[in-house]
Structure 1
């Protein structure tokens, strides 16, 4: 999570959406960089409004806008699958080396996700706070030019990013049956992505 106090902007770090690269590119420009532990770095919209926002309200007397990046849902799940297939995860209970992508997505859709598929949800990460606070600005991972133009206009500097925290490359395709089930069961994930210009 990156905080830009003067610009009244907080960049929430949705996992597997390239935010580590933006953190590296903008950390010297940010007033606050929350990079560890992961539960704070990846504070959801709810956690931000529950724990961080009161600090800005009470201590600084400012109302901050929030922004986040959303990835196409199948691509997002594919990134998690590939990330958990990296060599360091070999033999780890959360590794995906012995699973197909279909198996991983089926497990992610299950009511009781096993550890290897317990990677959260973009809609859950970004869901409004119970008092109604929503993420102010959403951007598509697949359209970085719009995100970069927004940051340049807001911060006065266009971020120069390099690829970081990259999952191993591999071609992934869901079977039509699993993809159809995913699109029906998790329609909100696709609706969120499609709602972003």
Structure 2
């Protein structure tokens, strides 16, 4: 999460939406950069409003606009699946090594998913709403917005990129995902 005081922006770090690359590009010009622990870096809208807004916004005297990025839901899950399939996690309970993407999504849809598929929901992360929500697949929209609001060039590289992997889903699993996580698909469709 990055805080920009004068431009009155809080850039929230929705997991697997390119926020590490944004941090690398902008942290040096931010007034506050929370990059660890992950629970604070990936502070949800609700948590920000409940626990941090009073501090950063001087108890409502200087409100900040919340900015976030959302990724298409299947692509987002694919990034999690590939990220958790990397060699560094082999043998750990959150590893997806040896699992198909279809099996991962089925596990994700369980009421109590196993550790490898416990990744939350973008809609839940963004519950409560942000002022500016950008599509992951249109990075120039976000970069133009940030350049205008921050008054500086914004050059974002790539960071924390998930390895390649097969993201084939059966029609049944795709349909179950769209039904089971309808809020994510509805929010994405509204962008």
TM-score range, shorter chain: over 0.9
1:14 equivalent in structure 2: 14
Task: Give how far 1:161 is off.
Answer: 1.2
1:146 & 1:28 partners in 2: Cα distance?
22
Deviates more, 1:102-111 or 1:154-163: 154-163
1:150 equivalent in structure 2: 145
Is the aligned partner of 1:50 residue 2:45?
no
1:100 & 1:171 partners in 2: Cα distance?
8
1:25 equivalent in structure 2: 25
Alpha-carbon deviations, 1:18-62, whole Å to 9, x = none? Answer: 000000000111000000000000000011001110113436831
Contact kept? 1:2, 1:34, Cα under 8 Å: yes
1:85 equivalent in structure 2: 85
Q: Would you identify which runs of 4 or more consecutive aligned residues in structure 1 move more than 3 Å?
A: 57-60
2:186 equivalent in structure 1: 191
2:111 equivalent in structure 1: 111
Contact kept? 1:149, 1:158, Cα under 8 Å: no
1:73 equivalent in structure 2: 73
Contact kept? 1:108, 1:117, Cα under 8 Å: yes
2:162 equivalent in structure 1: 167
Q: Which runs of 5+ in 1 are unaligned?
A: 129-133
1:99 equivalent in structure 2: 99
Task: Give how far 1:171 is off.
Answer: 3.2
1:116 & 1:158 partners in 2: Cα distance?
38
Deviates more, 1:5-14 or 1:53-62: 53-62
**RMSD of aligned residue pairs (Cα, Å):** 1.2
TM-score, with structure 1 as normaliser: 0.94
1:57 & 1:162 partners in 2: Cα distance?
30
Task: Give how far 1:184 is off.
Answer: 1.6
* Paired residue total: 191
1:29 & 1:95 partners in 2: Cα distance?
35
1:86 & 1:101 partners in 2: Cα distance?
14
1:117 & 1:186 partners in 2: Cα distance?
14
